[in-house]
Chain A
């Protein structure tokens, strides 16, 4: 992100690149990207491409980014620990209450085993895995065009209280409070965590690096059921003023073909074209199908100041969450109100 921004500022940006989808609005707004609406609409399978990618790829009704790679957020659980705790190892939790109950049972195993893990000081990790809990319960964090922060909702307060309760009762390791993301994947991989929100990327990484770990993959649930996911990944964008549109079109045609999608899938990305998704994933770990389904129902928040609001290690999003997750019940209200005000003020200053 910063590298591309610096290259673009220096006039040496590449003709095209894949960019974390979340930054497409901010780059499009700054006038660095080529309008590729016509190219996009000319693709015969345009309406099969990931909606979430396109929603952030669109700025003021013009398309600047097309889906390239995809990663969705899911919930993973340790089957071995579930079995030891007397739980059904093949049934993942489907509501917050079930997560809580399962985590308690696993935590009771003791011996360094904890029920639940999340990276409590990592903005990026939590937008990826915590917001879906709110979405699945009917809340949201921004309005559709990102001009208003809608942080202060009952759903947000409930979700924060849900995490806070697990922290208070010792179901979460103490390191979570200061984990800025370095343990996001590693904690669950140790095999001493019962349940953890994670991403599709973890399936490939776990299979490869920790082949002995038995784990299940399920959707991130809402309070009373339902599910949601953060649709992440990269958008394909073109630097403004390029003269290589022919080559770019040829590249996209290949990337979206069954062959291209299969190749991407084998390299750890979910397919971004719905009508060939199943075929592209054929022969791969079946848990990818769950992640792909999560992707299809996933959402991506839209903001031109996403970096400032969410990803910054000192931004309002993670400041609010960290304060509320690890505070007491009375701290939730003020933290959420403060987060709402701080986010709105950043949005207003930028606009």
Chain B
């Protein structure tokens, strides 16, 4: 390693022009495929969505150009803003739950050894189940007449009698959020663990010798050093939660009383229940803008201050 570095350093002036030529060639290659990739994977679908959002575009029949009317209409669409509000509410609690649990699990399962590996596997297992199957499983567990949870809560004396936990907002919301945490925490555990394992043992060792408490070591060494994986986890978690759909569709069908209709759920309803594809496209654009803004803010907040300078 050090030999290679030494060599590279020594050869630096001589290599420089060749290296830049190779870089230029790499860049050129990338330039050749970039348009196709960008066009097919990103620009085309996005352009199509923008185009659709400027039309009255029924699923059946012919689209009609209406300019910005869809965007004007969505300004007054209370149901959409309510769904966005609920999505934000869910994102807040899901993110706290997921990253908190993920970090705790990562701290617990970062060591080596068979038993720890077994735990790690167990924590990660739910991640590989699809959201739809996990939701179906949960819907059955929460069923008041034949499921496990209501009977369990009754037996534990938490509720008086058998209560339908999916029928009122708070228990319904929390049962879905807990399901998501159970299912996805393992994923964030892995991301955060990669950061934890990259922290050199010397740092903690040195701090310990200096007499820093476990809490201080965590606060001043661990947290700053896992900032990058944490930023990645945060961006993934927030954008994933903002796009939540399956769990609320399958377990709650947006209920009770349409209080758990998320933004994507509302877009789905608009497009495929009401067949207003153009309006659905306009809503999607708004959601996209919000997501991009949120991600930019998070990246900026968690940017590496050393690097920024």
Contacts and interface: CB of A to CB of B under 8 A. Distances in A.
A177 B164 contact: yes
A315 B256 CA distance: 13
Contacts of B258: 314, 319
A108 interface: no
B253 A5 contact: no
A314 B252 CA distance: 11
B84 interface: no
B254 to A, nearest CB: 5
A42 interface: no
B164 A174 contact: yes
A287 B72 CA distance: 55
Contact of A30 (B60, B162, B255, B261): B60
Contact of B253 (A31, A175, A180): A180
Among A27, A175, A311, A312, residue most surrounded by chain B Cβ atoms (within 10 Å): A175
Interface in B253-309: 253-258, 261, 265, 269, 272-275
A31 B164 CA distance: 45
Contact of A9 (B60, B167, B252): B60
Contacts of A311: 273
B59 A9 contact: yes
Q: In the complex, which range does the number of interface residues on chain B fall in?
A: 20 to 34
A314 B258 CA distance: 6
B60 A174 contact: no
Interface in B106-151: 143-146
Contact of B61 (A32, A175, A319, A326): A32
A8 B255 contact: no
A158 interface: no
A26 B252 CA distance: 28
A269 interface: no
Task: Give the one of A8, A121, A178, A311 with max B CB within 10 A.
Answer: A178
A27 B60 contact: yes
B191 interface: no
Contacts of A312: 269, 273-274
A174 B154 CA distance: 14
Interface in A292-351: 305, 307-308, 311-315, 319, 322-323, 326
Interface in B56-71: 58-61
Interface in B160-190: 162-164, 166-167
- State the main secondary structure of chain B at its contact with A: loop
Given A121-B253, A322-B255, A322-B257, A177 B167 contact: yes
Contacts of A31: 60-61
A173 interface: yes
B164 A5 contact: no
A2 interface: yes
Contacts, number: 72
A328 to B, nearest CB: 14
Contact of A32 (B60, B144, B166): B60
B66 to A, nearest CB: 14
B60 A5 contact: yes
Contacts of B272: 2
Interface string A118-129: 000100000000
B60 A319 contact: no
A322 B253 CA distance: 13
Contacts of A313: 253-255
Contacts of B274: 305, 307-308, 312
Interface string A21-53: 000001100111000000000000000000000
A97 interface: no
A284 interface: no
Contacts of B162: 174
Nearest to B274: A308
Given A175-B143, A178-B166, A178-B167, A314 B61 contact: no
B273 to A, nearest CB: 5
Contact of B255 (A6, A27, A173, A178): A178
Contacts of A174: 144-145, 162-164, 167
A319 B255 CA distance: 9
Nearest to B249: A313
A314 B144 contact: no
Nearest to B166: A178
Contacts of A314: 253-254, 258, 261, 265, 269, 273
A178 B61 contact: no
B77 to A, nearest CB: 11
A132 B253 CA distance: 25
A8 B273 CA distance: 16
A5 B255 contact: no
A319 B146 CA distance: 25
Contacts of B273: 307-308, 311-312, 314-315
In this complex, which of B162, B252, B274 has the most chain A Cβ atoms within 10 angstroms of its Cβ? B274
A30 B254 CA distance: 29
B59 A326 contact: no
Nearest to A323: B257
A9 B59 CA distance: 6
Contacts of B145: 173-175
9 contacts: A2-B272, A5-B275, A32-B61, A174-B167, A312-B273, A314-B254, A314-B261, A319-B258, A326-B167
Interface of B: 58-61, 143-146, 162-164, 166-167, 252-258, 261, 265, 269, 272-275
Given A305-B274, A313-B254, 4 more contacts: A30-B58, A175-B146, A308-B274, A312-B274
4 smallest beta-carbon distances between A and B, as pairs: A30-B60, A175-B145, A30-B61, A313-B253
